Amino acid sequence: MGENSYKNWQEKTLIPYIKKNPTRKKKFETSSYLDVKELYADSDVKNYEQNLGYPGQYPFTRGPYPTMYRGQFWTMRQYAGFGTAKESNERYKYLLKQGQTGLSVAFDLPTQIGYDSDSPMSEGEVGKVGVAIDTIDDMETLFKDIPLDKVSTSMTINATAFILLAMYIVVGKKQGVDKKLLRGTIQNDILKEYIARGTYIYPPKPSMRIITDIFDYCAKEVPKWNTISISGYHIREAGSTAVQEAAFTLANGIEYVKSAIDKGLNVDEFAGRLSFFFNAHNDILEEVAKFRAARRMWAKIMKERFQAKNEKSQMLRFHTQTGGSTLTAQQPENNIVRVTLQALAAVLGGTQSLHTNSMDEALALPTEKSVRIALRTQQIIAYESGVANVVDPLGGSYYIESLTDTIEEKAWEYINKIDELGGMVAAIEQGFVQKEIQESAFQYQMDIENKERIIVGVNSFQIEEEPPKDLLKVDPSLRNEQIKNLQRVKSQRDNTKVLNNIKLLKETVQSNENIMPVVIECVENYATLQEIADALRQEFGEYKESVVI
């Protein structure tokens, strides 16, 4: 084929046919407003061999590993946590028994924002969207009978990531597990919190200092730990397009790498422990292309921009969660289908681990049954669908390669713009990123309002429905239980030691020495999450968002 034969086909066959049989729409676009032609051909793909390459080789478009799922499946890592540490521990043991292959911890909002359960700010929030953790005592309970050398644990925690990581290290120590053996990830991606998720505490600059302290400490002391999960998931949930998700995520990554290098770290010492976290939305082919584009771009960024020599530093490895914001409250069983398509997109795109959402998450916290269905979705794709038997099965598709190129090109445009603005921290401070996302979110929702975008069961194919039954409820008295436990811990600990630890922490913050060893000591002596977080609040202050609609 070639451009001429394509044009010939259009003139001879396509155009006459369309005159008699019009297409459904005049203009077809991806979910993120990228133009979609009726057919793609070899003339749509440029520099095929160079851009595509092979899996396990630069630029890793086709995957970070040569055998991908022929070697081992992606980690099935269901994000879970609610109520008290005891309740969450029971669910983790349940999920591990059902075949989940890695843990993923959801913390409640007070824990994420640095408040203990007894704080007035915690009223109504304790244990609601995740597990409540106030001290190392709760953390021990959370991982009771779960040996930390046998599991890998992902923790969705950002502003207080340094505290929860310290707790995890101490739990390992109490279990007799050397910290050099600990495996897992802390999300630790504060930049996306300012633009898309909101669980920030401190301003950007001191937050970056905390993050690079973690990089430095873990490179030496906890070498198997992934120190960050640079997240596009929440950027997409906030309403970005797929291009923006890729661009802003990678721009955040650039900022973290730059920060670490400015601090004196060698790029190949820490870059292999950076990981990513993306969304999987409903437009399967666009999502597959997005993942491939991100891998290729990161490889180039690390090799060309930061001169990373080690291939591990050039690989983008990512976790995926299916798109929570796509779930509907209406006809919730439809969400099983949506999640299945999204999970398939993640797998076809080469994800290293995956969370599948539950069908009832637009209504309440997921029930045990709906969590099981979500996990079975992954297992069916892995064991029954055949898509895991081939590396990058959609690679070479003219459309996939063309779309990968388009997403890459447009994402680079954003990255160049952000560089012009002075980098991602500057772009966030100027409100550029937030505004871009907000515009996309508004457009997306207006399309739904105007039925330009059909959501099955919501703006079409609607039915009269009875309220769903069997939704999970978190017992409000849980907070009282949590507070009682917290009071017990405080009354039993050595308070003088805690006060001295907190004082030393503040001095360490001022001195620019690494804060991690002191935080670990605070935690070990039962300092509470809020006591540690407040110490840094007093030194760093709190970030205040500027609000625009």
Chain residues that interact with another protein, rule: CB under 8 A = 109-110, 112-113, 115, 121-125, 128-129, 193, 197-199, 237-239, 325, 328-330, 362-365, 438, 441-442, 445-446, 449, 455, 458-459, 467-468, 471, 474, 476, 545, 547, 549
Q: Looking at beta carbons only, is 2 or 476 nearer to another protein?
A: 476
Q: Which two tokens stand for residue 507?
A: 């001095």
Rounded-to-5 percentages of helix, strand, coil across the chain: 55, 10, 40
Q: Looking at beta carbons only, is 16 or 124 nearer to another protein?
A: 124
What's the CA gap between 176 and 164, in Å, rounded? 18
What's the CA gap between 84 and 127, in Å, rounded? 6
Q: How far is the CB of 105 from another protein (least distance, A)?
A: 17
Residue appearing with tokens 């779960």: 146
Q: Looking at beta carbons only, is 178 or 449 nearer to another protein?
A: 449
Q: Looking at beta carbons only, is 476 or 541 nearer to another protein?
A: 476
Distance of CA 116 to the CA centre of its chain: 25
Q: How far is the CB of 414 from another protein (least distance, A)?
A: 20
Q: How far is the CB of 218 from another protein (least distance, A)?
A: 26
Q: How far is the CB of 310 from another protein (least distance, A)?
A: 36
Q: Looking at beta carbons only, is 87 or 193 nearer to another protein?
A: 193
Q: How far is the CB of 330 from another protein (least distance, A)?
A: 6
Q: How far is the CB of 66 from another protein (least distance, A)?
A: 39
Q: How far is the CB of 44 from another protein (least distance, A)?
A: 34
- In this structure, the number of other CB atoms found within 10 A of the CB of residue 232 comes to 29
Answer positive or negative: Cα dihedral of 479, 482, 488, 489.
negative
Q: Looking at beta carbons only, is 129 or 426 nearer to another protein?
A: 129
Beta bridge partners of 156: 106
Q: How far is the CB of 364 from another protein (least distance, A)?
A: 5
Q: Looking at beta carbons only, is 60 or 82 nearer to another protein?
A: 82
Instruction: Supply the DSSP symbol for 329.
Output: S
Query: Smallest Cα–Cα separation from 520: which of 109, 16, 174, 59?
Result: 174
Q: Looking at beta carbons only, is 109 or 483 nearer to another protein?
A: 109
How many angstroms separate the first and last alpha carbons of the chain? 50
Q: How far is the CB of 437 from another protein (least distance, A)?
A: 9
What's the CA gap between 497 and 519, in Å, rounded? 13
What's the CA gap between 126 and 118, in Å, rounded? 9
10 Å CB burial of residue 503 (0-12, 13-18, 19+) is exposed
Q: Looking at beta carbons only, is 494 or 545 nearer to another protein?
A: 545
Q: Which two tokens stand for residue 345?
A: 């997109």
DSSP letters for 19-86: HHS--S-S--B-TTS-B--S---GGG--SHHHHH--TTSTT-TT-SSSSGGGT-PPEE--EE--BSHH
Q: Looking at beta carbons only, is 120 or 264 nearer to another protein?
A: 120
Query: Smallest Cα–Cα separation from 240: which of 232, 252, 230, 231?
Result: 232
Q: How far is the CB of 329 from another protein (least distance, A)?
A: 4
Alpha helices in 284-323 (DSSP H): 284-300, 311-314
